[in-house]
Amino acid sequence: MENKTEKLKFADIKNIVAEHLKTAVNSEIEGLEISAAVQKENIWRVLVEFEKKTKTGREYSFAMFAIDATNGEVKGFTSA
């Protein structure tokens, strides 16, 4: 008998991304938009675009995430 593990839905992943991003860039985040997301096996790979508040205004940036689809753990993160 096959043991199926529940996987997180896209909405759950979006919430994890928003939460992690705010902490990671240490700034207010606006305009969070998921440009691409794909779930392959047990990993969600997500590309997001966002604006972060800076001392001189707003700065556009992007980030890439690798998130475990079963428990929501962020396995990889890169921001530029």
Ordered structural domains, the chain, with CATH: 10-79 (3.10.450)
Helix (H) or strand (E) holding 69: none
> What pLDDT was estimated at residue 61?
92
Confidence at 3, pLDDT banded by 50, 70, 90: low
Better pLDDT: 25 or 73: 73
Query: Which residue do the tokens 């940036």 mark?
Result: 61
- State yes or no: pLDDT of 2 exceeds 60: no
State mean pLDDT over 51-60. Answer: 87
Strand order in the sheet with 43-54: 29-40, 43-54, 57-68, 74-79
